């Protein structure tokens, strides 16, 4: 299942309303790599992620998943790609008409799993990973923000996609859970070779999980390099972000 | 002036195009068997079973007042026994389907657009899409099928109750002779009238589901957007039902001449 997949973005432009959110993003993520995307709030990181599974359509540019350009695919044709790519939405986007257990089981049920015992076991495993096993019966509205995000993470990983897009996986979580999620991201990458793209503001998390870091600024990738490159960058705008932001994470 | 008329016309064409597209997408999905039976039954319960109270009261009281009013007028002419067929035919051909359509639009259409609209603005629709589930398959198909099944039954129910209460009012309250009331009704109202009612109900059902789901799927900008989508759904459904009803009345009259 987990044959890693590559992602490449070429000249991606996106205009939303009158705002040019993305102005020519070029980014290539190797199979099995963890790419962290940092950037100012409102800078278009979530918009970029949504393009990678065809939830938004580029104004211009190409998005290649395993070499296939998905920018021109129809909604139904995107299904095959979407089965391989999981996404954790920034706000979780849990189905509020279903309890936690059903939310997490949803991808399995939709891909045709029928054995109730197996499903229950997998759900409990996936929830265990985010430290929420036993909360299956709760409804999403009755969860705290951080719990919702963790349930959403369990839902994103349960079908073992070969690529996972995380939109701020640790935002709003306590340091202990954040750490365990950072470890989870690394573990999925190391053990299963999952290609990961992680959007985050949390510099701590950047240093923990990133193979490479991309800094999205003014709608383009302003900086791209390893964690070491990021640490040693002398570029003032990069420094501002690295230091300024880490100051805010207290 | 010409320009704004043109713009309205274009918007209307675009809107109809979107509805037609949704219709094709939905029927396509049904034909290809992308049906989630569990959701279908849930919707039958939601749309069909829970609308019964509303539909019975509407049908029943409409039949009752209609019988009373016709009696007041016909009594002056000494045509008491014509009340039965008049009520039956009007209930079958017009009042039953139209009133049921309007009530279901208010109850079910509003719920559909609010529910789907909320899912839209909270990114749940995007979450469905990201999990390779087509929103039309998951949300519209079960609702459409449930309404296809429920609407004719609800219309039938409202007609039935209308006729039943008209009998009570006409015969028990106004003193029309029961046998005349019924035999005249059977003589003048026939299967064609019932068919017209059920066909209309079916068409209104399709309109309600398409318009409401479309409003929901295109909801924008938070709670206000969902609110607007919901009101728009009810208003557009109601007006469309009234307009389409006229067209159907004329059209069906050719197929089932009076
Ligand atoms: N559906 C939309 N319609 C119009 N504008 C949008 C839409 N989605 C996002 N935007 C705009 O695009 C810009 C980028 O938004 P995005 O959500 O990608 O930011 P972000 O980098 O993820 O920020 P944060 O770190 O706060 O999550 C914002 O200015 C936002 O207002
Ligand atoms: Mg974001």
Please tell me which of the candidates B115, B118, B131 has its beta carbon nearest to residue A82.
Answer: B131
Average the pLDDT over B242-247 and give the result: 94
Q: What percentage of residues in chain A have a pLDDT greater than 70?
A: 96
**Nearest Cα residue to A28 out of A232, A237, A160, A211:** A211
**Nearest Cα residue to A78 out of B133, B50, B234, B63:** B133
Query: Residue whose CA is closest, atom 30 of ligand 1?
Result: A42
Q: Give the number of whichever ligand sits closest to the CA of residue A201.
A: 1
Contact B126 A50 (CB under 8 A): yes
Placement of tokens 């570029």 in the chain: A235
Checking if the pLDDT of A2 tops 70, the result is no
Give how far B108 is from chain A: nearest CA, Å.
17
- How many Å apart are CA A231 and CA B220, to the nearest integer? 41
Contact A91 B122 (CB under 8 A): yes
**Nearest Cα residue to A123 out of A112, A139, A108:** A108
Around ligand 1, the residues with Cβ closer than 6 Å are A 16-17, 19, 21, 39, 41-47, 90
Query: Residue whose CA is closest, atom 18 of ligand 1?
Result: A44
Residues with CB under 5 A from ligand 2 (ion): A 46, 90
Long-range pairs, B33-39, Cβ under 8 A, ≥24: B34/B134, B34/B137, B34/B141, B35/B141, B35/B142, B35/B145, B36/B137, B36/B138, B36/B141, B36/B142, B39/B138, B39/B142
Average the pLDDT over B4-24 and give the result: 90
A239 C-alpha to center of ligand 2: Å?
21
Task: Tell me which chain A residues have a C-beta less than 8 angstroms from the C-beta of B46.
Answer: none
Q: What is the pLDDT, as a whole number, of residue B100?
A: 93
Average the pLDDT over B187-210 and give the result: 89
**Integer Rg of chain A from CA:** 18
- How many Å apart are CA B13 and CA A29, to the nearest integer? 43
**B interface residues, A as partner, C-beta within 8 Å:** 115, 118-119, 122-124, 126-134
Spans of all domains in chain B: 34-255
Task: Tell me which chain A residues have a C-beta less than 8 angstroms from the C-beta of B119.
Answer: 95
Tell whether A215 lies on the interface with B, counting CB pairs under 8 A: no
Checking if the pLDDT of A246 tops 80, the result is no
Placement of tokens 């139904």 in the chain: A76
Band of the pLDDT at B189, cuts 50, 70, 90? confident
Q: Which residue has the higher pLDDT, B112 or A246?
A: B112
As a whole number, the mean pLDDT across chain A is: 87
Helix (H, G, I), strand (E, B) or coil at A87: strand
Which chain B residue's Cα is nearest to A49? B130
- How many Å apart are CA B230 and CA B209, to the nearest integer? 13
Query: Residue whose CA is closest, atom 10 of ligand 1?
Result: A16
Band of the pLDDT at A79, cuts 50, 70, 90? confident
Band of the pLDDT at B217, cuts 50, 70, 90? very high
Q: Which residue has the higher pLDDT, A12 or A1?
A: A12
Band of the pLDDT at B85, cuts 50, 70, 90? confident
Checking if the pLDDT of A92 tops 60, the result is yes
Q: What is the pLDDT, as a whole number, of residue A147?
A: 86
Contact A110 B129 (CB under 8 A): no
Write out A144-191 in H/E/C secondary structure: CHHHHHHHHHHHHHCCCCCEEEEECCCCCCCHHHHHHHHHHHHHHHHH
Q: Which residue has the higher pLDDT, B82 or B155?
A: B155
Beta strands in B67-135 (DSSP E): none
| Paired strand residues for A69 | A64
Q: What is the pLDDT, as a whole number, of residue B244?
A: 94
Nearest atom of ligand 1 to the alpha carbon of A44: 18
Checking if the pLDDT of B221 tops 90, the result is no
Band of the pLDDT at B254, cuts 50, 70, 90? confident
Contact A89 B126 (CB under 8 A): yes
Contact A93 B132 (CB under 8 A): no
Checking if the pLDDT of A250 tops 80, the result is no
Checking if the pLDDT of A12 tops 60, the result is yes
Tell whether A128 lies on the interface with B, counting CB pairs under 8 A: no
Q: What is the pLDDT, as a whole number, of residue A102?
A: 92
Checking if the pLDDT of B36 tops 70, the result is yes
Checking if the pLDDT of A249 tops 60, the result is no
Checking if the pLDDT of A247 tops 60, the result is no
Task: Tell me which chain B residues have a C-beta less than 8 angstroms from the C-beta of A85.
Answer: 130
Q: What is the pLDDT, as a whole number, of residue B258?
A: 66
Q: What is the pLDDT, as a whole number, of residue A116?
A: 87
Checking if the pLDDT of A241 tops 50, the result is yes
Please tell me which of the candidates A50, A97, A110 has its beta carbon nearest to residue B131.
Answer: A110
Minimum mean pLDDT among A42-56, B33-47, B94-108, B176-190: which range? B176-190
Q: What percentage of residues in chain A have a pLDDT greater than 90?
A: 28
A101 C-alpha to center of ligand 2: Å?
26
The string of pLDDT tens digits covering residues A173-221 is 888 888 888 888 888 888 888 899 999 988 888 888 899 999 988 888 8
Average the pLDDT over A107-136 and give the result: 87
Contact B126 A82 (CB under 8 A): no
Q: What is the pLDDT, as a whole number, of residue A214?
A: 92
**Nearest Cα residue to B233 out of B207, B211, B206:** B211
């Amino acid at each position: 299942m987990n044959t890693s997949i590559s992602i490449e973005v070429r000249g991606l432009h996106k205009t939303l309303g009158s705002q040019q959110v993305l102005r020519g993003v070029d980014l290539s993520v190797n199979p099995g790599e963890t790419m962290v995307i940092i950037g100012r709030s409102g800078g278009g990181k979530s918009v970029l992620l949504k393009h990678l599974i065809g939830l938004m359509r580029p104004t211009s540019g190409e998005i290649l998943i395993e070499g296939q350009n998905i920018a021109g695919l129809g909604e139904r044709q995107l299904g095959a790609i979407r089965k391989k790519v999981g996404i954790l939405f920034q706000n979780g986007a849990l189905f509020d008409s279903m309890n936690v257990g059903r939310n997490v089981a949803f991808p399995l049920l939709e891909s045709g799993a029928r054995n109730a015992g197996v499903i229950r076991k997998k759900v409990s495993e996936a929830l265990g990973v985010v430290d929420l096993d036993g909360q299956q019966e709760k409804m999403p509205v009755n969860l705290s923000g951080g719990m919702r995000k963790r349930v959403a993470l369990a839902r994103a990983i349960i079908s073992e996609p070969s690529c996972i897009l995380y939109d701020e996986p640790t935002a709003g979580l306590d340091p202990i859970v954040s750490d365990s999620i950072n470890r989870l991201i690394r573990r999925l990458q190391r053990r299963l070779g999952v290609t990961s793209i992680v959007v985050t503001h949390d510099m701590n998390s950047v240093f923990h999980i990133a193979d490479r870091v991309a800094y999205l600024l003014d709608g383009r990738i302003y900086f791209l390099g390893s964690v070491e490159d990021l640490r040693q960058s002398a570029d003032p705008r990069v420094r501002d972000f690295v230091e300024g932001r880490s100051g805010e994470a207290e | 002036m010409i320009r704004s008329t043109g713009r309205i016309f274009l918007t209307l064409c675009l809107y109809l195009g979107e509805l037609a597209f949704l219709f094709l997408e939905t029927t396509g999905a049904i034909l290809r068997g992308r049906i989630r039976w569990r959701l279908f039954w849930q919707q039958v319960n939601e749309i069909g079973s829970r609308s019964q109270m509303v539909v019975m009261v509407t049908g029943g009281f409409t039949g009752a007042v209609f019988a009373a009013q016709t009696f007041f007028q016909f009594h002056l002419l000494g045509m008491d026994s014509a009340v039965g067929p008049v009520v039956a035919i009007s209930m079958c051909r017009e009042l039953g389907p139209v009133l049921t359509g309007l009530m279901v639009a208010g109850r079910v259409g509003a719920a559909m657009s609010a529910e789907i609209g909320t899912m839209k603005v909270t990114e749940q629709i995007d979450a469905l899409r990201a999990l390779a589930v087509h929103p039309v398959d998951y949300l519209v198909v079960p609702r459409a099928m449930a309404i296809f099944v429920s609407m004719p039954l609800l219309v039938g129910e409202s007609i039935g109750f209308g006729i039943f209460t008209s009998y009570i009012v006409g015969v028990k309250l106004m003193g029309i002779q029961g046998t005349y009331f019924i035999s005249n009704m059977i003589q003048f109202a026939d299967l064609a009238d019932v068919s017209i009612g059920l066909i209309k109900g079916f068409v209104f059902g399709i309109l309600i589901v398409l318009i409401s789901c479309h409003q929901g799927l295109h909801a924008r900008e938070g709670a206000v957007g969902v609110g607007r989508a919901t009101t728009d759904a009810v208003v557009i459904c109601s007006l469309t039902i009234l307009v389409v009803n006229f067209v159907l009345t004329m059209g069906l009259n050719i197929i089932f001449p009076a």
